[in-house]
């Protein structure tokens, strides 16, 4: 981690929702999802939050040797966003506790506030993380 990784960092990212990010696309094998509204899925919204946080952090890490993984998500999803709308995500790093990072998050579509909350990430060493995954796979017989 670089010395520039400090609370107060902010980043904004705008993304246009397509059919690929709607509820029916979340789990195509789930019949229940196939009959639900074609709106921005909460699962993809969380992914967009993670992507935005990674963009904010990347210049402040020894990328790609250092990366971050999501460890906690506490967000609302208060308005539906139709296909074709753009979603703007704003993140602010509010806490740095060694390798634990906490963000405040807010997202708007072209009309409404769609989400607000907090997201926690943890800085990892990619090689060490991959080694642990390999060991876990071996332990499971994979």
Reading phi first (left if > 0) and then psi (alpha if -120 to 50, else beta), residue 94 is in alpha
Pairing of strands 100-108, 113-125: antiparallel
Alpha-carbon distance of 93 to 9, in angstroms, equals 5
Catalytic positions are 42, 50, 77
With a CB cutoff of 8 Å and minimum separation 6, the contacts of 136 are: none
Alpha-carbon distance of 121 to 103, in angstroms, equals 8
């Amino acid at each position: 981690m670089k010395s520039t990784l400090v609370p107060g960092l902010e980043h904004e990212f705008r993304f246009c929702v397509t059919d690929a990010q709607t509820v029916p696309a979340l789990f195509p094998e789930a019949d229940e999802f196939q009959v639900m509204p074609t709106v921005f899925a909460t699962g993809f919204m969380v992914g967009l939050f993670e992507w935005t946080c990674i963009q904010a952090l990347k210049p402040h890490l020894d990328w790609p040797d250092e990366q971050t993984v999501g460890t906690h998500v506490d967000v609302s999803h208060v308005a539906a966003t139709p296909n074709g709308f753009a979603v703007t995500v704003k993140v602010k790093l509010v806490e740095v506790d060694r390798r634990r990072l906490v963000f405040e998050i807010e997202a708007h579509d072209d009309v409404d506030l769609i989400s607000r909350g907090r997201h926690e990430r943890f800085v990892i060493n990619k090689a060490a993380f991959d080694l642990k995954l390999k060991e876990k796979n071996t332990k499971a017989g994979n």
